[in-house]
């Protein structure tokens, strides 16, 4: 569908759900196949999940399998895939070597010519201990980013985030204030936290910012023992879930109307109403006064 100016008024999103394992070549093959299915289903913009090329918890194993960006075969393959299909291809993230002992959890937005339009290194590291002994220390293997990023698509600006970023709303407000109409949150959310919070947090980020939220997800039991939630999801700017997948690998489609962003932001213009403020905390009472009061 095109507008009177000749630009696309709507576009189709294809979210690639995966279950990446410990063999990069196999993960790349799966991703390329599913990207092809997304293209065949009419997708203009295709997004893959966090850790598209590799899901492995062992730091030593990770560091033996990854490469620097200019030597990474998966990135080269995905650039060619975008060019072949003539699509905007958003690789949710790849494990990319940035130092001898560290990787980056890095997203890539690739244009239809195969050129890299934007990169983003995940800012917030997933260092948590969950109920039942499930534990993660992402900061031991990955170097955190410190710069937010966006890419300009033909339909509007895309804010780029990854997984655990979802829990830090200030990042999303900053992206929305910088003009993002769409927010990408590709993820490998744990099953435990996903069951509790996935839909609620995705809807919250959409509602707070009057933006579309689009999240391709890893799902199911992985070779390294982790279990991810899946449920790739698209939420509209009013907070309605318009598409949701399951835990099996596959493609989830949604048709996006960019005009709805302006409509919702006009209805509730909270982005224009934000104000800077300071937080005050109670002044500590002198110890001798506290002691006197307790004796009465």
Q: What does the pLDDT average to over 277-286?
A: 86
Residues β-bridged to residue 90? 47, 109
Residue 13's contacts (CB-CB under 8 Å, 6 or more residues apart) are 43, 44, 45, 46, 47, 214, 234, 243, 253, 254, 255, 256
Residue 197's contacts (CB-CB under 8 Å, 6 or more residues apart) are none
What structural domains does the chain harbor?
11-295 (3.60.110.10)
Cα separation, 46 vs 26, in Å, equals: 19
Least confident of 2-6, 221-225, 271-275: 2-6
Q: How many residues does the chain have?
A: 296
Residue 272's contacts (CB-CB under 8 Å, 6 or more residues apart) are none
List pLDDT tens digits, range 148-181: 999 999 999 999 999 999 999 999 999 999 999 9
pLDDT at 8: 52
Give the catalytic positions in this structure: 50, 122, 163
Q: What share of the chain is helix, strand, coil (3-state, %, to 5)?
A: 35, 30, 35
pTM of the predicted protein model:
0.91
List pLDDT tens digits, range 224-262: 889 999 999 999 999 999 999 999 999 999 999 999 999
In the predicted structure, residue 90 carries a pLDDT above the cut 50: yes
Q: By C-alpha distance, which of 144, 143, 174, 139 is closest to 160? A: 174
Strands 212-215 and 233-235: antiparallel
DSSP labels, 14-81: EEEEB---S-HHHHHHHHHHHHHHHHHTT-SEEE--TTSS-----HHHHHHH---GGG-HHHHHHHHH
Q: What is the dihedral of CA 245, 126, 64, 54, to 10 degrees?
A: 0
């Amino acid at each position: 569908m095109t507008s009177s100016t000749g630009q696309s008024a709507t576009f189709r999103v294809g979210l690639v759900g995966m279950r990446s394992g410990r063999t990069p070549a196999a993960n790349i093959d799966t991703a390329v196949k599913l990207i092809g299915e997304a293209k065949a289903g009419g997708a203009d913009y295709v997004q893959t999940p966090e850790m598209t090329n590799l899901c492995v918890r062992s730091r030593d194993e990770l560091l033996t399998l990854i490469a620097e960006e200019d030597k990474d075969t998966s990135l080269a393959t995905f650039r060619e895939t975008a060019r072949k299909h003539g699509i905007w291809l958003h690789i949710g993230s790849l494990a990319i070597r940035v130092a001898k002992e560290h990787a980056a959890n890095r997203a890539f937005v690739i244009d239809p010519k195969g050129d890299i339009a934007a990169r983003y290194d995940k800012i917030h590291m997933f260092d948590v201990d969950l109920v039942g002994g499930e534990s993660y220390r992402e900061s031991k293997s990955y170097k955190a980013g410190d710069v937010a990023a966006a890419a300009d698509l033909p339909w509007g600006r895309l804010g780029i985030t990854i997984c655990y970023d979802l829990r830090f709303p200030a990042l999303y407000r900053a992206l929305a204030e910088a003009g993002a109409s769409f927010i990408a949150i590709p993820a490998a959310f744990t099953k435990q936290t996903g069951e509790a919070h996935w839909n609620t947090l995705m809807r919250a980020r959409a509602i707070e910012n009057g933006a579309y939220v689009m999240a391709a997800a890893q799902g199911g039991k992985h070779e390294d023992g982790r279990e991810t939630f899946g449920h790739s999801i698209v939420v509209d700017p009013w907070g309605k879930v318009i598409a949701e997948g399951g835990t099996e690998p596959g493609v989830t489609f949604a048709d996006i109307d960019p005009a709805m962003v302006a409509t919702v932001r006009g209805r509730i213009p909270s982005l224009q109403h934000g104000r800077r403020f300071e937080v005050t905390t109670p002044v500590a009472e002198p110890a001798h006064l506290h002691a006197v009061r307790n004796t009465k």
